[in-house]
Amino acid sequence: MQLIDPNHPAYRRLWVRIAIVAVCFAWATVEFVTGDPFWGVISGGAGAYALYVLFWTFDPKPPETAAIVTPDDADGDEPAADDEKKAEEKKAE
């Protein structure tokens, strides 16, 4: 189960990824300094996971674009309709 989707457009900018990791580790530091190691470990783990996903394994895929569909025939109707017309023309000959 992946908690952070590296293909999300919000993570494309480097400064966003740096800020997320820095805030997690800074918060872990605050928790350790104030004497609450449980939340320090939780915040540090979140920072380590964010570092792993957003930097170590970060391989964003380009955004998908819709395929352009062009008609196969000159009159613009369905290709199946053209096949039927050709079959009728052959029968008429």
Cα distance from N-terminal residue to C-terminal residue, the chain:
64
> 3 in a domain, yes or no?
no
Kindly report, residue by residue over 13-56, the tens digit of the pLDDT: 899 999 999 999 999 999 999 999 999 999 999 999 999 998 88
> 77 in a domain, yes or no?
no
> 78 in a domain, yes or no?
no
Q: What is the pTM of this model?
A: 0.62
Q: Work out how many domains the chain is built from and give that number.
A: 1
CA atoms of 2 and 21, how far apart (whole Å): 16
CA 77 to chain centre: 36
- Tokens 């952070």 correspond to 4
Domain housing 22: 9-66
- Tokens 């966003």 correspond to 16
Cβ count near 18 (within 10 Å): 13
> 75 in a domain, yes or no?
no
